[in-house]
Structure 1
Amino acid sequence: MSVPYAEVIGDPIAQSKSPAIHNFWLDKLGIAGEYRATRVAPDGLAAYFAKRRGDPDWRGCNITMPHKQTAIPLLDRVEPLASRVGAVNTVHCARDGALVGRNTDVGGFLEPLADHLDEQHLFRMARVIGTGGAARAIVVGLADRGFTLVLAGRDPDKARALLEELAPDGEHHPVSLAAFEGTTDFPFDDRARCCDLVINASPLGMRGQPPLAFDWSHAPPGSIAYDIVTDPLDTAFLRGAERIGFATIDGLAMLIGQAATAFEHFFGAPPPREHDAQLRERLTA
């Protein structure tokens, strides 16, 4: 007997933790459903959506690299936030049969910062490393919440263009990735009632990728370090922050947060977040 299913697509895809997350929630809720991982090559994306449109059991998909932007013209509707970010990471079937693209990366990224963002601050600044698809969602989310952004990339011109496209009204600053590699003796002022973030939104530090060279003298006292990398989870970037006493947020926080919204679209029920600690144990076993 067939069951409703959703899936994550990308190329490569074998490393994805999304099936473990969604199937954990399905099991906890006793929902008859399945979540899969399916490799879709770039030249097979249009054929993939054409085939899934005719499958009555398909509820939608999460999208990872390299399809987050190229999927957009293949969809029937795209929600405003996803249009603004310029990237879709969730597609679901609407009741009228339309394929609707959403971006749950913004909400997933912001979720573990909620308590901090609920506070009143005199000033908010985030140093964001990376100019790829994940960085687009992070720039939009933080700019909308009053952050001044310092966006670092290998190509500062690309960082500048991204800021001008996604956050044109703020006084933001594009810099070279190399700007954070060496030490600085910049005299940070009193950071009371300020919110400072340092975010690795790049693949640097991921297994099989070059390390991220970041000197923590560039981070003001009391900063929060946030790394979206999930393999390994305990990155050198986060270990460096911990050594000097900074609070840290790892990549599973964003991954689980963005999956939660997608799950409800796919299976019609909110995931059982009260089991997050057990889910983390399973994902890191």
Structure 2
Amino acid sequence: MMRAEVIGDPIEHSKSPMIHGFWLDALGIEGEYGRTQVPADGLGAFFAERAQDPDWRGCNVTIPHKEAALDHVPDPGDVRASIGAINTVFRDDDGKLVGTNTDAAGFYAPLADTDLAGGHAVVIGAGGAARAILFALSRIGIGSVTLMARNPLKGAGLLAQFGLKGDVVDFAAPLPPADLVVNASPLGMIGQPPLRLDLDPLPLHAVVYDIVYAPLETELLAAARARDLATIDGLEMLIGQAAAAFELCFGAAPPRDRDAELRQRLTA
């Protein structure tokens, strides 16, 4: 039986098993999808062991391993040079494990009808998810980015890597009047400190996007809705990136026409 899983540390919060399990059942595929907590110093051993199991089709990679996982699997698409982080490992046609990134496409999908070309975005965080988001923003022609990061040198390096104009500020800085605000950090996640921002500087057309999905209704999204701002929750990116990963691992496109039913199950 084909098997796949999601790895991270922590991992109990992950909704990926429910998503992939829903699609496996819907398509009648004999397979299973689980979750495994893998510490940072165990990544090498994990991939070496899984590589020997022909039934293991791959995994999704979440916090905090998206950058480190690049050191343990081949990178034929040179994701290291483009995004600098992977979130999916799968077997290629030769049966070898390779890494890729589906986060960028998953992040952009709910913004596809939003004209952000030349606009101003605020991105909070500088980890693996932020890399994919900055990559996506660079491809849609965002005008400038304010990156909120604890390490200003790392933040400046990320903006330069993706050819983005903008500035790096700390988490206590006030928001500029941006068109898009994205929380790409773990702040606001269950077990993490909250993310509290004063959204008053944002114009009425601004979009607030929080990739955290546990809890789904974060303080950031609640504050945005209180101001009648457009919001995008973490399930949008989660389902979008999972769909691409599912096809890579199990060889079939998931039934996206049943997204509404899937969301109902995830939020029950």
TM-score range, shorter chain: over 0.9
Letter in 2 for 1:158: K
Which of 173, 178, 186 is the aligned partner of 2:167?
A: 173
Q: Secondary structure at the match of 1:127?
A: strand
d(CA) in 2 for partners of 1:179 and 1:67? 28
Q: Describe how 1:13-92 pairs up with structure 2 within 5 A.
A: 13-81=11-79, 83-92=81-90
Cα offset for 1:221? 2.6
Which of 96, 102, 108 is the aligned partner of 2:100?
A: 102
Map of 2:120 onto structure 1: 125
Letter in 1 for 2:223: G
Cα offset for 1:24? 0.2
Q: Secondary structure at the match of 1:71?
A: helix
d(CA) in 2 for partners of 1:246 and 1:81? 34
Map of 1:191 onto structure 2: none
d(CA) in 1 for partners of 2:74 and 2:156? 31
- Give percent identity, aligned residues only: 54
Q: Which runs of 5+ in 1 are unaligned?
A: 189-194
d(CA) in 1 for partners of 2:28 and 2:217? 32
Query: Residue 143 of structure 1 contacts residue 149 of structure 1 at CA under 8 Å; is this kept in 2?
Result: no
Query: Residue 108 of structure 1 contacts residue 256 of structure 1 at CA under 8 Å; is this kept in 2?
Result: yes
Query: Residue 125 of structure 1 contacts residue 197 of structure 1 at CA under 8 Å; is this kept in 2?
Result: yes
Letter in 2 for 1:227: D
RMSD: 1.8
Query: Residue 180 of structure 1 contacts residue 213 of structure 1 at CA under 8 Å; is this kept in 2?
Result: no
Cα offset for 1:122? 6.5
d(CA) in 1 for partners of 2:165 and 2:256? 37
Query: Residue 77 of structure 1 contacts residue 99 of structure 1 at CA under 8 Å; is this kept in 2?
Result: no
* 1:179-222 residue CA offsets vs partner (Å, 9 max, x unmatched): 127xxxx8x6xxxxxx9111111111112222212111231230
Map of 1:262 onto structure 2: 245
Map of 1:192 onto structure 2: none
Q: Describe how 1:156-171 pairs up with structure 2 within 5 A.
A: 156-164=152-160, 166-168=161-163, 170-171=164-165
Which of 210, 214, 227 is the aligned partner of 2:197?
A: 214
Cα offset for 1:21? 0.2
Q: Secondary structure at the match of 1:65?
A: coil
Query: Residue 21 of structure 1 contacts residue 279 of structure 1 at CA under 8 Å; is this kept in 2?
Result: yes
TM score, norm. by length of structure 2: 0.94
Matched, 1:277 2:260: yes
d(CA) in 1 for partners of 2:38 and 2:4? 14
Larger radius of gyration: 1
Q: Describe how 1:230-249 pairs up with structure 2 within 5 A.
A: 230-249=213-232
Query: Residue 260 of structure 1 contacts residue 270 of structure 1 at CA under 8 Å; is this kept in 2?
Result: yes
d(CA) in 2 for partners of 1:209 and 1:122? 33
Matched, 1:196 2:191: no
Query: Residue 72 of structure 1 contacts residue 78 of structure 1 at CA under 8 Å; is this kept in 2?
Result: no
| Change over 3 Å in CA distance of 1:78–1:70 after alignment to 2 | farther
Query: Residue 154 of structure 1 contacts residue 178 of structure 1 at CA under 8 Å; is this kept in 2?
Result: no
Q: Secondary structure at the match of 2:172?
A: helix
Q: Which runs of 5+ in 2 are unaligned?
A: none
Query: Residue 117 of structure 2 contacts residue 140 of structure 2 at CA under 8 Å; is this kept in 1?
Result: no
Q: How many residues align?
A: 267
| Change over 3 Å in CA distance of 1:270–1:82 after alignment to 2 | farther
Query: Residue 190 of structure 2 contacts residue 215 of structure 2 at CA under 8 Å; is this kept in 1?
Result: yes
Which of 129, 136, 149 is the aligned partner of 1:134?
A: 129
Cα offset for 1:278? 0.9
Query: Residue 79 of structure 1 contacts residue 100 of structure 1 at CA under 8 Å; is this kept in 2?
Result: no
Map of 1:6 onto structure 2: 4
Letter in 1 for 2:75: R
